[in-house]
Structure 1
Amino acid sequence: MAYSFYIFLFVAVVILLSSFVTVKQGTIAVITIFGKYRRLLSPGLSLKIPLIEAIHSRISIQNRSVELSFQAVTQDQANVYFKAMLLYSVINHDEETIKNVAFKFVDSTNLMQALIRTIEGSIRAYVATQKQANVLAQRNEIVEHVKHQIDQVLETWGYHLQDLQLNDITFDEEIMRSMSRVVASNNLKAAAENEGQALLITKTKGAEADGNAIKIAAAAEREAAQLRGQGIALFRAEVAHGMTKAAQEMEEANLDISVILFTMWTESIKQFAENSEGNVIFLDGSTEGMNRTMKEMMAMQMQKETQNKSGK
Structure 2
Amino acid sequence: MSPFVIVLLVLGLFIFLSSFFTVKQQTAAVIERFGKYASTRTSGLQLKVPVVDRIAGKVNLKIQQLDVIIETKTKDNVFVKLKVSVQFKVLQEKVYEAFYKLEYPHDQITSYVFDVVRAEVPKLKLDDVFERKDDIAIAVKRELNEAMSAYGYDIINTLITDIDPDIQVKNAMNRINAADREKTAAEYEAEAGRIRIVAKAKAEAESKRLQGQGIADQRREIARGLVESVDVLNRVGINSQEASALIVVTQHYDTLQAIGADANSNLILLPNSPQAGSEMLNNMVASFTASNQVGEAMKKANSNKRVETGKKDIFGGIEENKNDE
What TM-score do the two structures reach when normalised by structure 1?
0.69
Cα distance between partner residues in 1 of 2:128 and 2:61: 38
Q: Does the aligned pair in 1 maintain the 2:72–2:121 contact within 8 Å?
A: yes
Q: CA 1:230 to 1:103, structure 2 compared with 1: closer, same or farther past 3 Å?
A: farther
Which residue in the other structure is 1:104 paired with? Answer: 101
**2:204 corresponds to:** 210
Tell me the secondary structure at the aligned position of residue 128 of structure 1: helix
Structure 2 residue runs without a partner (length 5+): 253-269, 293-325
1:168 corresponds to which residue? 162
How many equivalent residue pairs? 264
| 1: CA distance, partners of 2:245 / 2:214 | 34
Alignment pair present for 1:43 and 2:40: no
Measured in 1, the distance between the counterparts of 2:198 and 2:146 equals 62
Structure 1 position 70, deviation (Å): 1.8
CA distance in 2, matches of 1:275, 1:16: 135
1:83 Cα deviation (Å)?
A: 2.8
CA-to-aligned-CA distance 1:88-109 (integer Å, 9 cap, x gap): 2224x3x3x222222221x2xx
Q: How does 1:117-156 map to 2 (within 5 A)?
A: 117-156=111-150
Distance 2:180 2:130 in 1: 17
Which residue in 2 is equivalent to 1:157?
151
How many Å separate the matches in 2 of 1:99 and 1:203? 81
Letter in 1 for 2:76: D
Runs of 4+ in 1 over 6 A off after TM superposition: none
Q: Which residue of 2 aligns with 1:90?
A: 90
Q: State the 1:199 CA deviation.
A: 1.9
**Displacement after TM superposition at 1:270 (Å):** 5.2
Secondary structure in 1 matching 2:163: strand
- Counterpart of 2:190 in structure 1 is 196
Q: Identity over aligned residues, as a percent?
A: 23
Amino acid at match of 1:22: T
**Residue identity matched to 1:123:** V
Q: What's the TM-score once normalised by structure 2's chain length?
A: 0.67
| Cα gap change, 1:198 to 1:157, in 2 (>3 Å) | farther
Amino acid paired to 1:71: E
Other structure's SS at 2:37 match = strand
Secondary structure of 2:76's partner? coil
Distance 1:268 1:197, change over 3 A: closer
Aligned to 1:251: none
Tell me, what secondary structure is at the counterpart of 2:123? coil
- Asked whether the 8 Å contact 2:68–2:113 carries over to 1, the reply is no
- How far apart are the structure 2 equivalents of 1:148 and 1:284? 104
Determine the C-alpha separation between the residues in 2 that align with 1:206 and 1:272. 40
Which secondary structure does the structure 2 equivalent of 1:153 belong to?
helix
